[in-house]
A and B are shown apart, each in its own frame.
Chain A
Amino acid sequence: EVHLLESGGGLVQPGGSLRVSCAASGFTFSSYAMSWVRQAPGKGLEWVSTISGSGGTTYYADSVKGRFTISRDNSKNTLYLQMNSLRAEDTAAYYCAKDIVVVPAMGTYIDYWGQGTLVTVSS
């Protein structure tokens, strides 16, 4: 059974940094691209970033490009999102998500989601 467990969320001041993690189990982690999707309180879903199975290809939403870094450790079955220069508008639940392909491509979709970790950016 696929299981994704996020951790590392919390309260951080504007301009600060935070790293959230996602521990994966139940599938061959390195064989699938992984994504982060966020949801601000009371709002819809917003894709943040995707990384290929090997970690060699990464994509970012314009809203986080240059501030966030996605990475993965396939030996630990863990996905990361390093968030720097945080802003109030980054406040959201951050979901770890498993893609159906190893490299992001046309037709991909997310088949499993974690329960999310809440990041609050406030002074």
Chain B
Amino acid sequence: DIQMTQSPSSLSASVGDRVTITCRASQSISSYLNWYQQKPGKAPKLLIYAASSLQSGVPSRFSGSGSGTDFTLTISSLQPEDFASYYCQQSYSIPPLTFGGGTKVEIK
């Protein structure tokens, strides 16, 4: 099975900061990488699919990049509503549909 490793596991940032989250796959997954946002007590929400495609309705401050084994999710200017946990997920080799361990973005 392909393992997904996210870093950092948590970070503290201020409103307006540029935030970057990294996801690494244990083997090449081409561009089959998706990102989800989850706020406390809520269901996850799709942000980015196929490594860099923005889901409809998602603000343009969110962007994704990468291919092969290394991927990043960037929030260009952190907003109060962006404080949440973020998960990457690979869909190159299924099953299983594997998720990264998550990154919690907290207020500094």
Contacts and interface: CB of A to CB of B under 8 A. Distances in A.
A71 B103 CA distance: 32
A1 to B, nearest CB: 12
Interface stretch (B16-24, B60-68, B71-79, B84-92): B84-92
Contacts of A44: 87, 99-102
B44 A95 contact: yes
Contact of A109 (B45, B46, B93, B102): B46
Contact of B95 (A45, A50, A109, A116): A50
A108 interface: yes
A66 B94 CA distance: 19
Contacts of A116: 43
Given A107-B32, A109-B34, A47 B97 contact: yes
Interface string A82-104: 00000000000001000000001
A113 interface: yes
Interface centre among A35, A95, A106, A109 (most CB of B within 10 A): A109
Interface residues on chain B, size class: 20 to 34
Contacts of B32: 106-107
Given A108-B91, A109-B91, A95 B43 contact: yes
Contacts of A107: 32, 50, 91-92
B108 to A, nearest CB: 22
Contacts of A62: 96
A59 B99 contact: no
A114 interface: yes
